[in-house]
Amino acid sequence: MTSEVKVLIDELASRHTLSPDGYEQLIERRTPEAAEHLAKRADAVRREIYGNTVFVRGLIEISNICKNDCLYCGIRASNRNVERYRLDPDTIVACACDGWEYGYRTIVLQGGEETTYYSDDVLCYVIERIIKACPDTAVTVSMGERGRASFQRLYDAGATRYLLRHETANKEHYERLHPSSMSFEHRMQCLRDLRDIGYQVGAGMMVGSPFQTTRHLVDDLVFIETFKPDMVGIGPFIPHHDTPFADEPAGTLELTLYLLSIIRLIHPRVLLPATTALGTIDPLGREKGVQAGANVVMPNLSPVAVRKQYELYDNKICTGDESAVCRGCLARRMAKVGYEVVVDRGDIAGL
Ligand code: SAH
What distance in angstroms lies between residue 317's CA and the mean position of ligand 1's atoms? 15
| Residue to mutate (ligand 1; options 68, 73, 164; most atoms within 8 A of CB) | 73
In whole numbers, what is the pLDDT of the chain averaged over residues? 97
116: left (phi over 0), alpha (psi -120 to 50) or beta: alpha
Report the length, in residues, of the chain: 351
Amino acid at 187: R
The pLDDT of residue 160? 98
* Residue 110: band (very low, low, confident or very high) from pLDDT cuts 50, 70, 90: very high
The fold of the 53-251+270-342 domain, in CATH, is TIM Barrel (3.20.20)
Rounded average pLDDT over 74-81: 98
Rounded average pLDDT over 277-286: 98
With beta carbons less than 8 A apart as the criterion, state whether 196 and 162 touch: no
Rounded average pLDDT over 101-110: 96
Residue 169: CB partners within 8 Å, gap ≥ 6? 205, 216, 219, 220, 222, 223
Q: Measured between alpha carbons, how far is residue 140 from residues 21, 45, 107, 160, 199 in Å?
A: 35, 26, 6, 6, 9
Residues 293-322 have pLDDT tens digits of: 999 999 999 999 999 999 999 999 999 888
Residues 26-63 have pLDDT tens digits of: 999 999 999 999 999 999 999 999 999 999 999 999 99
The pLDDT of residue 128? 98
Burial of 283 (0-12, 13-18, 19+ CB in 10 A): exposed
Q: How many other β-carbons are positioned within 10 Å of the β-carbon of residue 101?
A: 11
With beta carbons less than 8 A apart as the criterion, state whether 122 and 162 touch: no
Ligand 1 atom nearest to 73, measured from its CA: 19
The residue among 323 and 244 whose pLDDT is bigger is 244
- DSSP character string of 158-211: TEEEEE---B-S-HHHHHHHS-TTS-HHHHHHHHHHHHHHT-EEEE-BEES-TT
Amino acid at 99: G
Distance between CA atoms of residues 49 and 339, nearest Å: 14
The pLDDT of residue 115? 86
* Residue 327: band (very low, low, confident or very high) from pLDDT cuts 50, 70, 90: confident
Q: Measured between alpha carbons, how far is residue 226 from residues 53, 222, 229 in Å?
A: 27, 6, 9
Whether 323 has a pLDDT exceeding 90, the answer reads no
The pLDDT of residue 80? 98
Distance of alpha carbon 286 from its chain centroid, rounded? 13
Residues 188-243 have pLDDT tens digits of: 999 999 999 999 999 999 999 999 999 999 999 999 999 999 999 999 999 999 99
Would you give the DSSP letter of residue 87? -
Q: Could you tell me if the CB of 109 is within 6 A of ligand 1?
A: no
Q: Could you tell me if the CB of 240 is within 6 A of ligand 1?
A: yes
Distance between CA atoms of residues 169 and 156, nearest Å: 29
What distance in angstroms lies between residue 61's CA and the mean position of ligand 1's atoms? 12
Query: 0.85 cut: is pTM over it?
Result: yes
Residues 113-140 have pLDDT tens digits of: 998 899 999 999 999 999 999 999 999 9
Whether 1 has a pLDDT exceeding 80, the answer reads no
Residues 143-183 have pLDDT tens digits of: 999 999 999 999 999 999 999 999 999 999 999 999 999 99
The pLDDT of residue 351? 83
The pLDDT of residue 34? 97
The pLDDT of residue 325? 86
Domain range annotation of the chain: 53-251+270-342
The pLDDT of residue 311? 96
What distance in angstroms lies between residue 70's CA and the mean position of ligand 1's atoms? 9
